[in-house]
Amino acid sequence: MTARAIALAVACVALVTVPWWMPGDYYVNVASQILLYAVFALGLNVLVGYAGLVSLGHAGLFGIAAYATGFMLQSGFGHLAAIIVALVVGMASMAIYAVLSLRSTGIGFIMITLALGEILWGLAYRWISLTGGDNGISLNSRPVPFGISLAAPNAFYYATLIVFALSAVAMTVFVRSPFGASLMGTRDQPRRMNALGYHVWLIRFYACLVSGLLTAVAGILFVYYTQFISPQTLALTSSAEVLLMVISGGAGTLLGPIVGAALVVVVKTVVSGFIERWNFLLGAIFVAIVILMPEGLVPGSARLWRLAWRKLSAPAKPAAAEGKP
Amino acid sequence: MSALTVQGLCKSFGGLHVINEVNLNVEPGERRLIIGPNGAGKTTLFNLITGEITPDRGSISLFGQDITKVPSRQRPHLGMARTYQIITLFPRDTIIHNVALALLGLSPARWNPFIDLRHQGHLIEHGLAALQRVGLTHLAERPLAQTSYGERRRVEIAMALAQNPKLLLLDEPFAGLSIDERRDVHQCLMAIPRDVTMVMIEHNMDVALEFAERITLLHFGEVIVEGNRAEVVADPRTREVYLGH
């Protein structure tokens, strides 16, 4: 059994047993938040890490799916219909995002996605008949799949864990697939990929849809978790936050966005209870990551581990040889 | 039917006429060399043929099919492959992955997000066969970042050959190579069978003249001399604008 398989098994056991070893419901809820933001970060990572397209408007898509769920439930539809509509609306919005923003790459792509995110944020504030404006939309209940109520923290945690696990497995398969390889090729050498017969724009468009699907799933989880959605969820700071999750953990890796999500959520929810200036702490952590591990926590730690292992396993130089004149 | 026909091709960047009324006719199986001083428009001509740049006027045909308006990404599917003057590969990946990407470019499997690329035996087999043609099978699993410049040149050629092209465009394949590396690349190119038509831009006349059957001399975007080796080398205009003596 490899070290990686052992680590994966330990992580799986730890995640499944969270409600047993966590000190209380509050921390189980924090774990649910980490998982749902990890799904969000995995979605953004498809673009940032594997397509080389940095989006600063993903909170808009996250919020659209959350609003669509809230609106459908408020209009008297069931949970299943609300979830399906939210996924369709989220994907459709991503398709529009992609058509508009894929006209450019680099800084142009960032600026267009930022603008689109701001438009959605503005709509959430001003289109009061649909979104409730500043008051937002409140949900009365969580779904009851197969007769199991998700109202309690533990039940909701397991539902989130299942969605997270499916998302992580799907991403693993996606990254190793020919399409994943094509996508990474367009990130590294778009001109060469074009010359090899690839439709670079269409590959990026499909990648946007995959990203939009995961983002919509995370948005639905979020609205069921908080049972409330307001324009604040769509704000630029939310987009920046999830981007920092991806970058700090390690863009273009499977584990990086998950670790990044855990870091940000823990500092935001747990550490903020002990440190008033938690924003300062989060900023300091990011600065430290950028300086010490510019590639992100996961690849950076792996690099340091390999370095340490090489040093430890290298045979010691004989003292006599060192002492030669 | 000609392998490649270029008729009245023109391209300007602002007021600068980079390619001006260029006509080119390359027969199937031919080895054509395109020479010219720096700025003559050789690489621009390649970019026009591959569709990376749209011509202002003129037409391009590949084996009788007019491809002037065919998008550049479609041209490899019609049997056109190229290499670049500045090596353009995927340094994070292994050599075999680079070649597999070339193979995947022509395969519908490139859209598949559900299968594992590493388990696509036929892709790996074909990739190894392409690497064998350039003598790099033993380095297949080596990350590209750990290879020499000459080996990367050969990987570029392997990627082009993997696509089984009918027309291969080589943009300065010997540029920046040592004598040994030049010999290796030369051997690879000489071993390419005649069912592949080849057009090459090259400055190194020692190896290029050995390779070429016909030569086209470009100067300021215009074809000023065309003919077989002896004719072009003997032409005073070649000496004046290119050979310099």
Mean pLDDT of A100-105: 94
Q: What is the pLDDT of residues A227-243, one digit of tens each?
A: 999 999 999 999 999 99
Instruction: Tell me A227's DSSP state.
Output: S
**Who's near A184: CB < 8 A, 6+ residues apart?**
A50, A252, B92
For residue A194, give how far its alpha carbon lies from the nearest alpha carbon of chain B (Å).
Answer: 5
- Reported as a pLDDT band with limits 50, 70 and 90, residue A320 is low
Chain B environment of A199 (Cβ under 8 Å)? 73
- Reported as a pLDDT band with limits 50, 70 and 90, residue A274 is confident
- In whole angstroms, what is the distance from residue B232 CA to residue A48 CA? 52
For residue B111, give how far its alpha carbon lies from the nearest alpha carbon of chain A (Å).
Answer: 5
Last residue in a domain, options B135, B164, B193: B164
- With 0-12 / 13-18 / 19 or more C-beta atoms within 10 angstroms meaning exposed / middle / buried, residue A93 is buried
Interface contact A178-B105, CB threshold 8 A: no
Q: What range does the domain containing B129 cover?
A: 87-164
Last residue in a domain, options B126, B147, B164: B164
Specify the range with the lowest mean pLDDT, choosing from A112-121, A278-287, B167-176, B204-213.
Answer: B204-213
Q: Are residues B99 and B137 in the same domain?
A: yes
Instruction: Inform me whether the C-beta atom of residue B152 falls under 8 Å from chain A C-beta atoms.
Output: no
- In whole angstroms, what is the distance from residue A241 CA to residue A264 CA? 8
Element (H, E) at A65: helix A58-74
Q: Are residues B157 and B97 in the same domain?
A: yes
Q: Are residues B72 and B177 in the same domain?
A: yes
Tell me if B103 sits within 8 A of B127, measured CB to CB.
Answer: yes
Q: Are residues B63 and B2 in the same domain?
A: yes
DSSP class per residue in B160-187: HHHT--SEEEEESTTTT--HHHHHHHHH
Count up the domains in chain B and report the number: 2
Q: Are residues B28 and B146 in the same domain?
A: no
pLDDT of residue B229: 86
DSSP class per residue in B18-39: EEEEEEEEE-TT-EEEEE-STT
Chain A environment of B115 (Cβ under 8 Å)? 177-178
Instruction: Inform me whether the C-beta atom of residue B38 falls under 8 Å from chain A C-beta atoms.
Output: no
Q: Are residues B20 and B37 in the same domain?
A: yes
**Which CATH number is associated with domain A25-234?**
1.10.3470.10
Interface contact A195-B111, CB threshold 8 A: no
pLDDT of residue A325: 46
Last residue in a domain, options B164, B195, B212: B164
H-type alpha helices, chain B? 42-50, 95-104, 121-133, 149-162, 179-190, 205-211, 229-234, 236-238
Interface contact B101-A196, CB threshold 8 A: yes
- Say what the pTM is: 0.92
Tell me if A246 sits within 8 A of A40, measured CB to CB.
Answer: no
**Structure tokens that stand for A82 in this block:** 């609300």
Q: Are residues B18 and B60 in the same domain?
A: yes
**Structure tokens that stand for B115 in this block:** 């299968």
pLDDT of residue B201: 94
Q: Are residues B115 and B216 in the same domain?
A: no
pLDDT of residue A275: 85
Q: Are residues B120 and B92 in the same domain?
A: yes
Q: Residue B59 forms beta bridges with which residues? A: B7
Average pLDDT value for chain A: 93
Q: Are residues B8 and B121 in the same domain?
A: no
pLDDT of residue B127: 95
Q: Are residues B184 and B201 in the same domain?
A: yes
Q: How far is CA B155 from the centre of its chain?
A: 13
Mean pLDDT of B19-45: 93
Q: Are residues B75 and B171 in the same domain?
A: yes
